[in-house]
C-alpha cells in the first residue's frame, strides 16, 4: 500500500505543500514558488502514471514488446510550457506590483488598497 503507491504519495505531499505555500505565505514570490510546486506535482503525477512496469522507452524496436505509455509524457510537455508561461507572467506581474506599490507583500498591498478606498469613501461622505 505504502510503497505500491509511492509515486502518488510523493505527488500528494508536493501538491499539499505547494497549495499550503500559496495560501499561507504573503510574499508574492513565495506564492508563485508554491504555485509552481503545485503544478510540478501534477507533472510528476502524469509522468509516473505513464510508467509501465518492465516497459521500455517508447521507441519502436524489434526485440522490445512492452513500452511505457508515451502519451502522458507528451501531454505534460504541453503542461510544462503552460506552467512556464504562467510563472513568467506571474513574475512580471510581481515586478509591476513592486513598481506601483513599492512592496511584494500581500498584506501591505491590501492595506494600501483599503486606505485608498477609505479615502474615497470619506471624500464621498463630504
Q: Is 63 in the site for other proteins (CB under 8 A)?
A: no
Q: Is 113 in the site for other proteins (CB under 8 A)?
A: yes
* Shortest Å distance, C-beta 63 to other proteins: 25
Q: Is 14 in the site for other proteins (CB under 8 A)?
A: no
For residue 108 the three cell numbers come to 501591505
Write the burial class of residue 119 (CB in 10 Å: 0-12 exposed, 13-18 middle, 19+ buried).
Answer: exposed
* Shortest Å distance, C-beta 79 to other proteins: 6
Cα distance between residue 26 and residue 57, in whole Å: 43
Q: Cα angle at 100 between 96 and 102, to 5 degrees?
A: 100
What 3-state class would DSSP assign to 56?
strand
Q: Is 33 in the site for other proteins (CB under 8 A)?
A: no
Q: Is 80 in the site for other proteins (CB under 8 A)?
A: no
Cα distance between residue 42 and residue 126, in whole Å: 53
**Binding stretches for other proteins (CB under 8 A):** 19, 22, 28, 31, 35, 38-39, 42, 45-46, 49, 71-72, 75, 78-79, 82, 85-86, 89-90, 93-94, 96-97, 100-101, 109, 113, 120-121, 124
Amino acid at each position: 500500500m505504502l510503497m505500491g503507491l509511492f509515486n502518488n504519495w510523493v505527488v500528494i505531499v508536493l501538491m499539499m505543500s505547494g497549495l499550503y505555500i500559496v495560501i499561507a505565505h504573503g510574499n508574492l514570490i513565495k506564492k508563485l514558488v508554491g504555485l509552481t510546486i503545485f503544478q510540478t506535482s501534477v507533472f510528476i503525477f502524469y509522468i509516473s502514471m505513464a510508467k509501465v512496469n518492465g516497459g521500455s522507452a517508447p521507441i519502436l524496436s524489434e526485440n522490445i514488446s512492452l513500452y511505457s505509455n508515451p502519451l502522458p509524457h507528451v501531454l505534460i510537455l504541453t503542461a510544462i510550457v503552460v506552467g512556464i508561461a504562467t510563472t513568467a507572467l506571474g513574475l512580471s506581474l510581481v515586478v509591476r506590483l513592486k513598481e506601483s506599490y513599492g512592496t511584494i507583500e500581500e498584506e501591505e498591498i491590501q492595506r494600501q488598497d483599503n486606505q485608498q478606498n477609505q479615502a474615497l469613501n470619506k471624500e464621498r461622505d463630504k
